[in-house]
Structures are given as structure tokens and as C-alpha cells.
Amino acid sequence: MILRRLLALLVLAFSVRAQDVRPLTILHSNDLHAHLLSDDQGRGGFAYLATAVREERARSSASLYLNAGDLVQGTPVSTLYRGLPIYRIANRLGVDVSTLGNHEFDYGWLRIQNFIKAAKFPTVSANVVDGSGALLAGRPYVIKSAGGIRVAVIGVLLGDLVGNLATPDKVGPWHLLPVVETVRKYAAEVLDKSDLIVVLGHIHDEEADAILQQVPAVSVVIVGHTHKAYAHLHDFDGRVGALVTAYGVELGRLDLQVDMTAHRLKSAEWKIIPIDARKIVPDPRVAHQVAHWEAKVSKIVDVQIGEAKRRFEKKDLQMLIQRAMAEETGSDFAWVNLGNIRDVIPAGPVLARAIWNILPFDNAVVIGKFKGSQLPPKVREGQSIDSDREYTLATTDFTASNQASKDQFGVSGLAFPKIAALQRDMVIGWIKKKKILE
């Protein structure tokens, strides 16, 4: 009798425990960068991503799809229409929550308000504030319900946005609050209103790790910005961070077991789903909308400007573009940072579209005159320079205004008073003259 009772209690205890743990799948992408179409290797494309999201959702009992910023900037539709069509098309991807990336500022901060208005999904960003403390995105977090789990999603953006990743004219009256402190503040605010706290961050990998290490109330960080997928899930005492490759070539799938009593993860399994356009059936409505917008730009960008004898990776293109800028401006040197180069040139006919994808930014080329001794070390490297001779140096207006950043010259005080043409037009013009790239 006693034994039977004990057994019943045990069964009850187990069933209570079992009920306390609920499954949740978080699908995630980052840095889609307006790559509406698949790349030259059949990877990515919004219509294929939409299908993958739908199929993965069908394989989950409860799911959320989070997008970690930099939705716009990267292809001609975004550049020519200043990002807005990308938000319209993204409305059909099934995004539950998105956050701002640094490139959302590329068309000026006022444009971000149009993005937020056009989006049918909420955009959260907790640390972009003005002098009065008002938030650019309007809301720091949302609380979504999925499978009976109240999931708080807090958005954050790179702490060093201004002066490093965006020029002050684009950012206007907004400034960035420290990432970890801001997350800590809002995590405390949502603690009693949620069962699981997720940070959706367009942030450096180190910032993501710092959140996991320093704010234990946060169970998950979905990351964007680096463009390069994590080799494995970042795990700090069962709190996890995930990041997938940019341009929609991958979708992340994080399968969680959420302990509803302890408000923490019981387990987390992560996998990366390749968006393979040769295997996935495109979502017809998204495909239709993509075709509609691509048709508008096709006349301008789908024209052949030359031929590539081989594939040019980003490093090769950095050299090529520097050469084009130096030759076109008659400068002694030209310098661009690797982050300026956003895509590759496949072997074969070169379309203007490739250069739009490589140089989506409306950067102008600017020129300055400097004594050899004043040239930044990154420009002097590998060159024989006469310290007293005067040299001309071409770069972009973006590099010139963020020159002190370690990703740029890493020095300040250089003046570039002369403005030449738009960088993209200059490179297209140069390739047209060269005809063959080898």
C-alpha cells in the first residue's frame, strides 16, 4: 500500500516536472543585406528563405523567427530605393521580431522611421537614444508568446556605432548606450513578465559573449554583424549565443527546452540550415515580389561591363578597386578597407550588378595631399616612400570621416578636401575601359 502510494507520488512528481519543461524553436538570420536573389552558387534568396522558415516552423511545436539586423544595403534594389522595398518584401518572410543594424543608418536615421512603419513585425532596439532618452526604434523589447512561453526579446546595437561604423550625419541626434549595461537594465525590467529572456543583438561577438557571461538572466543571444557563422554554439553555463552566415545563405535553428520554473534553459541544440536554391521550392508570393523589384533595376544593372578571367575574392577586389581609384583620380595611392568590399566577382561576364553588390554604398572618392611622412602606416606598408615628397592619396568619404577607427587608417588629422566621383561609378567606368580583368 505504502509502496503503491510512493509510486503514485513519484509518477506525479515526474509528470509535474515534465510539464514544467516546454520546447521552443528559435529560427534566426542576420545581415540579409537586401540579397533578394540567390548568389552565383545557388545559395540564399528571399523566396527560398521564406520556404525554409515555413518548413522549419512546421517541424516545431512552438517557434519564433528572429532577425538580427542589417536587413538593407547590399544590392541595387536597396541602394536605388533606399532600403524600403526590402522591408516590404521581408514582411512575407514570417519574421516575428527584428532589430536595427548599423547599415539601417546608411540612408540616414530618418529613413529608419519609414522602415519601422513599413514593417509588419516589431523592431526592437534598447540602446539607440537621443538626448532626452527617447528610443529611435520606439521600443526596447517585446514579449512574445510561443507554446505557452512568454519570451522577452530585447534588441541592442553595437556600442561603437558612431565614429566607427556610421558617420555622424547619418546618425543625427542619436547616440549609443553601453550594450551590457542596457541589457542588464531591461532584463531586470522583464524578469517577472517573462519565462525566457532573449537578446537580439546586432553587436560584436565579444559583446554577445559579455552579455552571456555578465547578465545571467539572459538565456539566449541571437547575434548579427560579423557575417561569419559561429563554428559552434557559444555556451556559458547553459546560456547560449548563435550567429549564422550573412546574406541569407543560412538559417539558424535553435531547439530549446525551457524550464518554466527556473526560467532557464534545460537544453539547447543548434543547427545551421543551408538555403540551397537548387533544393528548396521558392515561395511564389515572395518570388513574385522580388521579381517585381528586380525588374525595376535590371535595365540599369544587368548590363555587361567587362569580363573576368577568374574569380575575384574580396581581398583581390580590394587591390583592384584601389588600383581603379588611383588610376581614375591620377593619385599616387588609393586605400579602401576590406569592409568596403561586400561581394565577389565570379569568373565570366562582369555585369554592372556585380559592382553594385560589391560597392552598394553611395560613397564618394575623396583626395588629399600629404607628405610621405604623414601618410598613414597602412598606406606606406610595402611601398618605398620619400618622407619629404608630397603624395596624393584617394579614399572614400566614409574612411575619411571615420579615419581614426582601427578598421580604417587608425590615425586622425588627415584632410581630404577634394571630392571626385561616386566610388561605384568610378570602378564601373574603369572596368569598362579595361574590358578584361585578370
Binding residues (CB under 5 A) for Zn ion: these are 31, 70
Minimum distance, C-beta of residue 224 to Zn ion, in the bound complex (Å): 7
The number of beta carbons lying within 10 Å of the beta carbon of residue 389 is: 11
Question: How many CA within 13 A on the CB side of residue 114?
Answer: 16
Q: What's the DSSP call for residue 192?
A: G
Minimum distance, C-beta of residue 371 to Zn ion, in the bound complex (Å): 36
Minimum distance, C-beta of residue 74 to Zn ion, in the bound complex (Å): 8
Minimum distance, C-beta of residue 41 to Zn ion, in the bound complex (Å): 20
Asked if 389 and 333 count as a contact pair (C-beta separation under 8 A), the reply is no
Q: Considering beta carbons, is residue 31 or 96 the nearer one to Zn ion?
A: 31
Minimum distance, C-beta of residue 63 to Zn ion, in the bound complex (Å): 24
Q: Considering beta carbons, is residue 202 or 424 the nearer one to Zn ion?
A: 202
The overall longest dimension of the chain from CA atoms, in Å, is 100
Q: Considering beta carbons, is residue 245 or 318 the nearer one to Zn ion?
A: 245
Which grid cell is 136?
Answer: 529611435
Rounded distance between C-alpha atoms, residue 34 and residue 84, angstroms: 10
Q: Considering beta carbons, is residue 119 or 411 the nearer one to Zn ion?
A: 119
Which grid cell is 78?
Answer: 536597396
* Coil, strand or helix at 314: helix
Bridge partner list, 304 = 351
Residue 367, H or E segment: strand 364-371
Q: Considering beta carbons, is residue 30 or 194 the nearer one to Zn ion?
A: 30
Q: Considering beta carbons, is residue 25 or 29 the nearer one to Zn ion?
A: 29
Q: Considering beta carbons, is residue 70 or 250 the nearer one to Zn ion?
A: 70
Minimum distance, C-beta of residue 124 to Zn ion, in the bound complex (Å): 18
Checking DSSP bridges between strand 149-157 and strand 141-146, what pairing results, if any?
antiparallel
Q: What is the CA radius of gyration of the chain?
A: 24
Q: What's the DSSP call for residue 373?
A: G
* Coil, strand or helix at 408: coil
CA proximity to 165, closest of 81, 225, 82, 248: 225
Asked if 331 and 325 count as a contact pair (C-beta separation under 8 A), the reply is yes
Minimum distance, C-beta of residue 44 to Zn ion, in the bound complex (Å): 14
Cβ neighbours of residue 369 closer than 8 Å, sequence gap 6 or more = 390, 391, 392, 393
Q: Considering beta carbons, is residue 22 or 202 the nearer one to Zn ion?
A: 202
Which amino acid type is present at position 159? G
Classify burial at 365, counting beta carbons within 10 Å of its beta carbon; exposed 0-12, middle 13-18, buried 19 or more. buried
Q: Considering beta carbons, is residue 199 or 215 the nearer one to Zn ion?
A: 199
Minimum distance, C-beta of residue 158 to Zn ion, in the bound complex (Å): 10
Rounded distance between C-alpha atoms, residue 106 and residue 86, angstroms: 14
Helices (H), 70-160: 76-80, 84-90, 109-118
Q: Residue for cell digits 522577452?
A: 152
Q: Considering beta carbons, is residue 228 or 371 the nearer one to Zn ion?
A: 228
Minimum distance, C-beta of residue 281 to Zn ion, in the bound complex (Å): 28
Minimum distance, C-beta of residue 340 to Zn ion, in the bound complex (Å): 13
Minimum distance, C-beta of residue 431 to Zn ion, in the bound complex (Å): 25
Rounded distance between C-alpha atoms, residue 102 and residue 117, angstroms: 18
Q: Considering beta carbons, is residue 206 or 388 the nearer one to Zn ion?
A: 206
Which grid cell is 94?
Answer: 514570417
